[in-house]
Amino acid sequence: MEIFVCDNYEEMSFKVAREISRQLTVKPTSVLGLATGETPKGMYRKLVKMYKQKIVDFSEAKTFNLDEFYPIKRDNKHSFKNYMQKRLFEEVNLRPKNCFIPDGEAENPNKECQRYEKELSHSGQIDLQVLGIGENGHIGFNEPGVEWSSVTQLVELEDKTVKKEFNTTSGVPNKAITMGVKDIMGANRIVLLASGEGKKNVVERALKGPITQEVPASILQLHPKVKVYLDKEAA
Ligand code: F6R
């Protein structure tokens, strides 16, 4: 595991965007695993800028998002589909048919998990998986206690996770469809990013503490190719 401490959020965002653009330069048909949330917003801004400067080309790439709330309308302002449309999909030359994200409107969530898992396996290995980390150690929406062998599944979210997104726990989705730990660990390379003082504790537990299901990100210690990008506060 390589750990890079960046001076600030901007530098961290640039370095992770550069990882993605290098990946696409070496292999234009790459399969990218993508995260949402606050942390990668800067990374997406940098990527869009690089695309506009013709430094990066997404035309042959495929993307798989880690997760989506369930149930949620695609055009809900909190949906990850909406997040991705605005921040990346509508801004670069990714082909819509190559952008995969679990469907928060699916009638049958378990079937949707199976469908997503199938799409993932048809695409072959994820070349580069981008991850954020929750304050409770979750990766994707794999909350503490998750099975290491999990694949895409419907999960119940911790109240804190729901509150962080919606500011309340009532009348909002408390479930999500998430790629499993096994899917994430199957990626060829992983880049984890974390920013801010609030992540300091969990970063230390995940990277230096025991490997335990109580801190799902701790499993990354066993992956052979992980790069961690932190800003000073998270480090
Ligand atoms: C989002 C995801 C989550 C977030 C994590 C950190 O797709 O999979 O694991 O990466 O909750 O979120 P932020 O960056 O908002 O602190």
The best mutation among 16, 66, 70, 136 to test binding of ligand 1, ranked by most ligand atoms within 8 Å of the C-beta, falls on 66
Q: CB of 132 closer than 6 A to ligand 1?
A: yes
**Tokens read off for 191:** 């880049």
192, β-bridge pairs = 131, 228
Is 168 exposed, middle or buried (CB count within 10 Å of its CB: 0-12, 13-18, 19+)?
exposed
**Tokens read off for 85:** 């449309």
Which parts of the chain sit beneath pLDDT 50? none
C-alpha 107 – ligand 1 centre gap (Å): 25
3-state DSSP call for residue 128? Answer: strand
C-alpha distance from residue 64 to each of 6, 145, 158, 232 (Å):
27, 24, 23, 29
Residue 25's pLDDT is what? 98
Q: Are the CB atoms for 207 and 137 separated by under 8 Å?
A: no
Among candidate residues 19, 127, 143, 158, the one labeled active-site is: 143
The best mutation among 16, 34, 36, 130 to test binding of ligand 1, ranked by most ligand atoms within 8 Å of the C-beta, falls on 36
Is 90 exposed, middle or buried (CB count within 10 Å of its CB: 0-12, 13-18, 19+)?
exposed
Report H helices in the chain.
9-26, 41-52, 80-84, 109-122, 159-166, 181-185, 200-208
Among candidate residues 82, 136, 174, 188, the one labeled active-site is: 136
Give dist(CA 216, CA 212) in Å, integer.
7
C-alpha 208 – ligand 1 centre gap (Å): 20
Question: pTM for this one?
Answer: 0.98
Residue 154's pLDDT is what? 98
Return the half-sphere exposure (C-beta side, CA atoms, 13 A cut-off) of residue 78.
Answer: 16
- Digit-coded pLDDT (tens) for 73-128: 999 999 999 999 999 999 999 999 999 999 999 999 999 999 999 999 999 999 99
Give dist(CA 204, CA 93) in Å, integer.
37
Residue 227's pLDDT is what? 98
Query: What is the chain's Cα-based Rg?
Result: 16
Which amino acid, 83?
Answer: Y
CA-wise closest residue to 43 among 11, 70, 73: 11
